[in-house]
DNA sequence: AGCTCTTCCTGAAAGC
DNA sequence: TGCTTTCAGGAAGAGC
């Protein structure tokens, strides 16, 4: 399930392989996978990929043609992938968008998404700006510590849903929320506004460390994440709590990892993330 | 405002 | 073995 680190890996590979390449064809299979901008599809042929950015868990490709700029934005949702042609081997019926290139290192990128949670959009500049403003909060990797502190402590609610709330903090999903909370020693249900400044600063640094290590490992391939070139991410080997229900706490505290099913599968150690250790 | 529930959707895994 | 059921999950929207 692609979250921020996986989307970053995707963006990075696309950047290396295709920035500067020219689009020869852009094809959409299922029309209902395209959220907006389907009518602008013909524009993309002849445009050049200028830049690849990541917003939260989405990947935005910026194209230029003469003086015009447009974007193709892939929401990866949970099963969405952007794959080079050679890496897309199974379930061809789930390829919903293809972009063919000339002059790059790869001939084609495909948006593949079996469960179709997530959409693909075509935007001009102002549409992209509106989309981003409405949808994405701060980026956890670039937000300043003071802003993060304000964001956390002014929230009246529980910490884990806040970490995963895209309009507050864009890019963290269930896997990384669980891993971050364990490493920060914070219970998923702690009220965000009750954390001390020191605790929030620790959380800030842990968040960045976890996300950066995951990017360096190529992301987490828990079920079905593959980078555009088809390779799997290795960060799964560094997961400490996600998917580890009933296994001993890696801190060797003697307790077993528990799972709260009602809370979007919160995995945590009842000892090391004990509410009594908050203050 | 924030929480919970529902809907979307299909492959993989578990159950029988 | 082969069929059926369950589960996974992000985001949006409804209702409280």
Establish whether the CB of A113 is closer than 7 Å to any nucleic acid atom in strand C.
Answer: no
CA-to-C1' span, A95 to B13 (A)? 24
Judged against a pLDDT cut of 80, whether residue A222 lies above it is answered with: no
**Burial state string for A92-110 with b = 16 or more CB within 10 A and e = fewer than 16:** eebbbbbbbbeebebebbb
Mean pLDDT of A104-113: 95
- How far is the C-alpha of A202 from the C-alpha of A236, rounded, in Å? 23
Question: Residue with CA nearest B10 C1'?
Answer: A115
A263 touches strand B (CB under 7 A): yes
Does the pLDDT of residue A269 top 60, yes or no?
Answer: yes
In terms of residues, how long is chain A?
A: 279
* Cα gap A151→A141, rounded to integer Å: 14
* Residue A251 binned pLDDT confidence (cut-offs 50, 70, 90): very high
Which domains, from first to last, does chain A contain? Answer: 4-135 (3.20.190.10), 145-277 (1.10.8.50)
Q: Average pLDDT over chain A, rounded to whole? A: 92
Confidence of residue A279 (pLDDT cuts 50, 70, 90): very low
The reply to whether the CB atom of residue A155 sits less than 7 A from any atom in nucleic acid chain B is yes
Name the helix (H) or strand (E) containing A125. Answer: helix A125-135
Give the residue with greater pLDDT, A261 vs A55.
A55
How many Å apart are A114 CA and C4 C1'?
21
Confidence grade of residue A191 (pLDDT, cut at 50, 70, 90): very high
When computed from its CA atoms, the radius of gyration of chain A, rounded to whole angstroms, is 20
The predicted pLDDT at position A32 comes to 86
- Residue A183 scores a pLDDT above 60: yes
| Positive or negative torsion for Cα A173, A176, A180, A186 | positive
pTM over 0.75: yes
Whether pLDDT at A30 is above 90: no
Contact present, A102 and A24 (Cβ < 8 Å): yes
Task: Name the band, by pLDDT with cuts 50, 70 and 90, for residue A277.
Answer: low
Q: Quick one: average pLDDT of A131-140? A: 93
Q: How confident is the model at residue A186 (pLDDT cuts 50, 70, 90)?
A: very high
């Amino acid at each position: 399930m692609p979250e921020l680190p996986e989307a970053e890996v995707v963006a990075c590979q696309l950047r290396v392989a295709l920035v500067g390449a020219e689009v020869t064809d852009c094809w959409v299979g299922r029309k209902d996978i395209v959220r907006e901008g389907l009518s602008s599809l013909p524009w993309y042929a002849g445009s050049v990929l200028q830049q690849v950015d990541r917003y939260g868990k989405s990947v935005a490709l910026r194209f230029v043609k003469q003086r015009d700029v447009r974007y193709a934005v892939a929401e990866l949702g949970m099963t969405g992938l952007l794959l080079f042609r050679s890496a897309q081997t199974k379930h061809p019926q789930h390829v919903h968008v293809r972009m063919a290139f000339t002059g790059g290192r790869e001939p084609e990128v495909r948006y593949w998404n079996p469960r179709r949670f997530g959409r693909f959009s075509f935007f001009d500049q102002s549409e992209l700006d509106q989309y981003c403003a409405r949808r994405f909060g701060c980026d956890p990797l670039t937000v300043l510590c003071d802003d993060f502190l304000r964001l956390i402590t002014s929230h009246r609610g529980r910490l884990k849903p806040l970490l995963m709330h895209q309009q507050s903090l864009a890019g963290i999903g269930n896997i990384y929320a669980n891993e971050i909370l364990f490493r920060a020693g914070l219970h998923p249900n702690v009220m965000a506004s009750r954390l001390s400044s020191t605790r929030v600063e620790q959380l800030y640094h842990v968040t960045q460390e976890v996300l950066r290590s995951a990017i360096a490992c190529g992301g987490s391939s828990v079920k079905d994440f593959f980078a555009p070139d088809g390779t799997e991410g290795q960060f799964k080997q560094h997961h400490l709590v996600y998917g580890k229900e009933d296994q001993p706490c890696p801190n060797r505290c003697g307790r077993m990892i528990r799972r709260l099913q009602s809370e979007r599968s919160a995995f945590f150690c009842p000892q090391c993330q004990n509410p009594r250790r908050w203050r």
